[in-house]
Amino acid sequence: HHVRVARAAGHVLGPESYAHPGAVNFLQKFGSALQVNPHFHALVIDGVYVTERPGAVPTFHPAPPLTDLDVARVQADAQARIERVLRARGLLARDGADPELLEGYEDSALPGLWSASLLSQTVAGDNSTKKVPRLVEREGASAKREALELPRGALVASANGYSLHAATRIEADDRDALERLIRYMARPPLAQGRLMLREDGKVLWNLRRPWRDGTRGFVFDPLTFIGRLAALVPHVREHQLTYHGCLAPASPLRDHVVLRPPSSRPSRCEAAGAAPNQPSGGPKFSWADLMMRVWSKDVLRCPRCGSRRVMLAAISDGPTIARLLAHLGLPTEPLPVAPAREPPQLDFAW
């Protein structure tokens, strides 16, 4: 969309001129009820970078504000492209009928788990077609939820089972809001604060906000809960985060458009007086910085005196490590590996 708008506005001139969009895409396979619900969270640059010729420094051209018609057109275009890919891969019949989707999964339990997750059914024994119990608020309580829903047309388009929400916009200098949005887009399916094991052994999952029908939680038996989680496990070698356009790893524009804060300390080459090599491709974060950033754990703070810990040495010599461990009274040999055991499910009474 942004490329078409840039061309129509006359920003792309000449045969070698090109408009480069940019986006970061998060693949999420879960919904608020821990059900299988594949969808994308896309963080899109609100404009394009234009180069007059290959290798030239790009110029940014912001896009005009989106309209409801723009969102509807992008939604229709996305639907057509997705269905074209599905038909090319044999996953969607041309006459609209559903083809056989279980090829390669004949001996797998995953199709049954996917089906139970989509239909909100249990997976245990004779109750495999029973609906998962819900916790429902009293009448009238769902009015709070209704006030949070955006009406169709407020930069939201929905048709034929495809929906597009484009009502969230972050200003370029609002870095805190951008970080909050990215944390939301990259969040895992489970929040432990909303998960509770009841006294009867069942698992209670509380929704962050009640649904329109008043549903505020679900009660899973243990096997159904494990089945819900198993259905959400990504496929092997399936990327959950992808970069597109000028933000792609191999894009020649990436070094021009990605902000790189200057380092507060000289590199090893600079400290030694040698000429530094080319940039390594991005900022480097220490393990302690990452622990603080992700888990809010200050691992360099001494729990006894509160002072800052510093690394004295990094030892990789085996005999030296063994002497240090022996001096500290720690084992110098690896722990024995426990023998393999049979699957614990074989011990179940049923």
Domain boundaries, the chain: 2-245, 285-331
Helices 110-119 and 222-231, packing angle to 10 deg:
110
pLDDT value, residue 325: 92
Q: For every one of its 350 residues, what pLDDT tens digit does the chain have, with 9 covering 90 and above?
A: 888 888 888 888 777 788 999 999 999 999 999 999 999 999 999 999 999 888 889 999 999 999 999 999 999 999 999 999 988 887 777 665 555 655 666 667 888 888 889 888 888 765 566 899 999 986 554 444 444 454 556 899 999 889 999 999 999 899 999 999 999 999 999 888 999 999 999 999 999 999 988 999 999 999 999 999 999 998 888 899 999 999 999 999 998 888 776 655 544 444 444 444 444 555 678 889 889 988 889 999 999 999 999 988 889 999 999 999 999 999 988 888 877 776 665 555 55
pLDDT value, residue 142: 47
Assess contact for 24 and 244: CB atoms under 8 A. Answer: yes
Q: Which residue has the tokens 């494990």?
A: 226
Q: Among residues 160, 162, 178, which one has the least CA distance to residue 170?
A: 178
pLDDT value, residue 174: 93
* DSSP letter, residue 125: G
pLDDT value, residue 97: 56
Q: How far is CA 69 from CA 74, 152, 224, 274, 324, in A?
A: 9, 12, 42, 57, 69
The 10 Å CB-count burial string (b at 16+, else e) for 293-323 is: eeeeeeebeeeeeeeeeeeeeeeeeeeeeee
* Longest CA span, the chain: 75
Query: Sheet containing 203-206: which strands, arranged edge to edge?
Result: 134-136, 215-220, 203-206, 195-197
pLDDT value, residue 154: 86
